[in-house]
Structure 1
Amino acid sequence: MGLTTDEQKAVEQFRTDVVAPSMERLVILDFWAEWCGPCKQLTPILEKVAAEYADRGVVLAKVNVDENKFIASQFQVRSIPTVYAIFQGQPVADLSPARTEPQLRQMLDQLLEKLPITAGDAVADPAAALAPLVDEAEALLAQDGAEQAYALFAEVLSVLPEHPPALSGLIRALTILGRQDEAQAIFDSLSDELRAEPALEKAGSVLSIAAAAVPPEELAGLKSAVAASPDDHALRLELANALMAAGDRDGAAKALLHIIAADREWNDGAAKARLLEIFSLIGLEDPWVAATRRKLSAILFG
Structure 2
Amino acid sequence: MIELGGSQSQPQGGGSEHIKDVSEMTFMQDVVEASQQVPVIVDFWAPWCGPCKTLGPMLEDAVKAANGAVKMAKVNVDEAQQIAAQLRIQSIPTVYAFYQGQPIDGFQGAVSQSEIKAFVDRVAQQGGGAAGDSSNGLDDALAAAEEMREAGQTDDALQIYQAVLGEDEKNPRAYAGIVATLIEMGDVDKAEAVLNGAPAEIATTPELEAAHAQIALARQAENAGPLADLQTKVEADPSDHQARYDYALALQAAGRTEEAVDQLLELFRRDRTWNDEAAKTQLFTVFDALKPNDPIVLNGRRKLSSMIFA
Q: TM-score, normalised by structure 2?
A: 0.49
Q: Report the residue type matching 1:291 in the other structure.
A: N
Deviation (angstroms), 1:141: 2.4
Deviation (angstroms), 1:300: 2.9
Looking at structure 2, the residues matched to 216 and 233 of structure 1 have their Cα atoms a distance apart, in angstroms, of: 16
Q: C-alpha deviations, 1:196-239, integer Å up to 9, x for none?
A: 22111111111111112258972323333444554443443233
Runs of 4+ off more than 4 Å: 214-217
1:240 paired residue number = 248
Change (3 A) 1:227 1:185: farther
> 2:158 aligned to 136, 150, 154, which one?
150
Change (3 A) 1:189 1:221: farther
1:198 paired residue number = 206
Contact 2:224-2:249 at 8 Å conserved across structures: no
Looking at structure 2, the residues matched to 130 and 268 of structure 1 have their Cα atoms a distance apart, in angstroms, of: 42
Q: Report the residue type matching 1:183 in the other structure.
A: A
Between stretches 221-230 and 145-154, larger displacement belongs to 221-230
Q: TM-score, normalised by structure 1?
A: 0.51
The alignment of Structure 1 onto Structure 2 pairs a total of residues equal to 177
Looking at structure 1, the residues matched to 139 and 171 of structure 2 have their Cα atoms a distance apart, in angstroms, of: 10
> 1:271 aligned to 279, 283, 292, which one?
279
Structure 1 stretches lacking a partner, 5+ long: 1-124
Q: C-alpha deviations, 1:40-62, integer Å up to 9, x for none?
A: xxxxxxxxxxxxxxxxxxxxxxx
Contact 1:209-1:242 at 8 Å conserved across structures: no
2:299 paired residue number = 291
> 2:268 aligned to 260, 268, 288, which one?
260
Deviation (angstroms), 1:144: 3.1
Q: Report the residue type matching 2:280 in the other structure.
A: K
Deviation (angstroms), 1:192: 5.4
Q: Which has the higher contact order (CA 8 A, sep 6+)?
A: 2
Q: Which has the higher helix share?
A: 1
1:64 paired residue number = none
Contact 1:214-1:242 at 8 Å conserved across structures: no
Q: Report the residue type matching 2:137 in the other structure.
A: A
1:51 paired residue number = none
Looking at structure 2, the residues matched to 139 and 236 of structure 1 have their Cα atoms a distance apart, in angstroms, of: 35
Contact 1:150-1:173 at 8 Å conserved across structures: yes
Change (3 A) 1:128 1:207: same
Same amino acid, percent of matched pairs: 33
Q: Report the residue type matching 1:140 in the other structure.
A: M
2:178 paired residue number = 170
